[in-house]
Amino acid sequence: MRNSGPESSTPREILATPAVSACHPPRTDHTLAAPPPPRTPETPMPSLGRRTFLSAALATAAIGGTSSARASTRATQVRTVDELRRAIAAAQPGAEIVLADGTYNVTGSQGIPIQGRRGTASAPIIVRAASTGGATLAGDRGFVLTDSAYVVLSGFKLRQRTTLDIPTTCKNIRISRNDIQLADVEGMHWLMVRGDNAVVERNHFHGKSTLGVFLGVEGPGSAGMARGVRIVRNYFSDHTFAGDNGGEPIRLGLSGRSLSDAGAIVEENLFERANGDPEAISVKSSANFIRYNTVRNSLGGIVLRHGNKTRVEGNFILAGSNGIRIYGNDHLIVNNYVERVSGSGIVLGSGSVRDHKPEDDAESRRGNDAPDRVTIALNTVLSSGTAISGESQRTLPPLGCTIADNLLVGDSGSLVSMPYQQGITWSGNILWGAAGNGNIPASGFTRKDPKLVAGNDGVRRLGAGSPAIDAASRTYASVTQDADGQARTGRADVGADEYNTATPVRRPLTPADVGPASR
């Protein structure tokens, strides 16, 4: 969202990826505490004890099958909307309800109620299509969740004219492997999450041209946030809203909720042609983790618009318009790879207020909180309009911020344009290319050829003998991996890549890696 204007389903075999539903807010200087363990495509999502969505027993199931032949012998097969409603109303922990493939027109305001249905971590209630994408739910309203827990909705094509809502009365709800293209109604959000420990995974959100977000996360009252939400392996594509703001794929909070710790994890999602807003991931809450996502060919970037203590790590932003933009306090921006962004790769913003406070009025909370104690380190920015820049349109500068050990390479223009210098410490950055240095202090960089080599995935990594190897000016105890998911060893290499001849564990995501059919 721009800086002004109004704010506007899983079979048992895929349950092998239990959700992380709690995390500890990070400290965000260069000694930041370690984040939750990273997940790679080859490993299941880690469990965090009693709050884990699914038991270890379910985690042993095979991944990938979606046909009704794989259904449990206890599964209830239904063939009409009324049969589906009755089966859900009678569902007990461990129930599995399978809707036959076909198209179903759900009329009236009742929708498909899921009221007072409570599974358990080891025995969730599963409502799914017979095959992934085989059952289409059209009409006025779809699933209506109330006072329920440990419910899985999986494998549907959702085509309703009403927002799918996870209210605060619902906990541990999983929305999995659905194709979501609700009615293209002006101002309508497609999925709103307000309940704690929800998991939104492997869905495809696509084809919206009007005001409204694909996925919003809010919480109780006017200031709270849902806690422990996890958004993973989703595909967000083709949002073409042409208005000033309000078309974010993910909006994580609102200005009035920004001081609430959400502890959300947004990871391994792919954004393509996300052109509904300059913010593909709009963070308006605190203590979140935004990691390992890929944003490609999109207007939107990753923006910490409101809130504090968020860690932005290991994201790939490629061939778009906006990179990473930061407001608020105590963030860590580390290991990100930004290439061919027409604007600035990283923007350290300015403020209309020094710090937001709980007692602030609603209008004040909409202003930009000047960045304090933000660390921008070990990032690679290549061939962008400007590698790192600031803002001068507001009067309050960054304070106590660090920009260190980044690799900045450009072909034209200037690599650094920072109007406020007094609140920033620079060190260890490496600059290269035909682009000018800009106004980065001489003590904060060296100009050396990093000897980059393009991989099969197009990512340019350090080559043998690069002066960036073991050249970091600081230590980063909490940064144990690079953007590729490979270990940071000894003194860190400058930029997002730690030199390694092995095949990367992570890489920019493609449509095959995400969405309903992904493994």
> Tokens in use for 212?
């409204």
| Whether pLDDT at 314 is above 70 | yes
Q: Is the pLDDT of residue 129 over 60?
A: yes
Cβ–Cβ under 8 Å, residues 148 and 124:
no
Report the pLDDT value the prediction gives residue 339, as an integer from 0 to 100: 98
Residue 398 has pLDDT above 50, yes or no: yes
> To the nearest 10°, the Cα dihedral for 181, 185, 186, 192?
-50
According to the model, what pLDDT value does residue 42 have?
35
Residue 437 has pLDDT above 50, yes or no: yes
Write b or e for each residue in 243-269: b if 16 or more Cβ atoms lie within 10 A of its Cβ, otherwise e: eebbbbbbbbbbbbbbbbbbbbbbbbb
DSSP 118: B
38 band by pLDDT with thresholds 50, 70 and 90 = low
- The pLDDT-based confidence of 12 (bands split at 50, 70, 90) is very low
Please give the pLDDT value at position 41: 37
Whether the predicted pLDDT of 519 surpasses 70 = yes
First to last CA, the chain: 32
| Per-residue pLDDT reduced to its tens digit, 49-69 | 333 333 333 332 322 333 333
Exposure class string for 12-28: b at 16+ Cβ within 10 A, else e: bbbbbbbbbbbbebbeb
CA pair distance 295, 289, nearest whole angstrom:
16
User: Residue 43: its pLDDT value, please?
Assistant: 36
Q: What is the pLDDT of residue 145?
A: 98
Pairwise CA distance, residues 156 & 478, whole Å:
40
- Mean pLDDT across 286-295: 98
What is residue 391's three-state secondary structure? coil
pLDDT for the residue 373: 98
Q: Are strands 452-454 and 460-462 parallel, antiparallel or unpaired?
A: antiparallel
% pLDDT > 90, the chain:
80
Residue 1 has pLDDT above 50, yes or no: no
Q: Does residue 293 surpass a pLDDT of 70?
A: yes
**Mean pLDDT of the residues in the chain:** 88
Structural domains in the chain, sorted by start: 12-448 (2.160.20.10)
The percent of residues in the chain predicted with pLDDT above 70, rounded, is: 86
Residue 453's CB is within 10 A of a number of other CB atoms, namely 13
Q: Write the pLDDT tens digit of every residue in 403-419.
A: 999 999 999 999 999 99
DSSP letter for 168, please.
Answer: T
Least confident of 58-67, 155-164, 205-214, 374-383: 58-67
CA distances from 302 to 271, 281, 283, 293, 324 (A): 11, 5, 8, 10, 5
Q: Determine the 3-state secondary structure of 68 from DSSP.
A: helix
This prediction has a pTM of 0.88
How far is residue 2's CA from residue 60's CA, in Å, rounded to a whole number? 45
pLDDT of residue 34: 57
- 4 pLDDT tier (thresholds 50, 70, 90): very low
Tell me the average pLDDT across 320-333: 97
Tell me: pLDDT of 124 over 70. Answer: yes
pLDDT in tens, 258-267: 999 999 999 9
CA-atom Rg of the chain in angstroms: 23
pLDDT of res. 388: 98
Q: Given a cut of 80, is residue 11 above it in pLDDT?
A: no
Q: Which of 232-241, 360-369, 375-384 has the lowest mean pLDDT?
A: 360-369
Distance CA 305, CA 260 (A): 14
| Tens digits of residue pLDDT in 149-181 | 999 999 999 999 999 999 999 999 999 999 999
Residue 21 pLDDT > 60, yes or no?
no
* Residue 48 predicted with pLDDT over 50: no
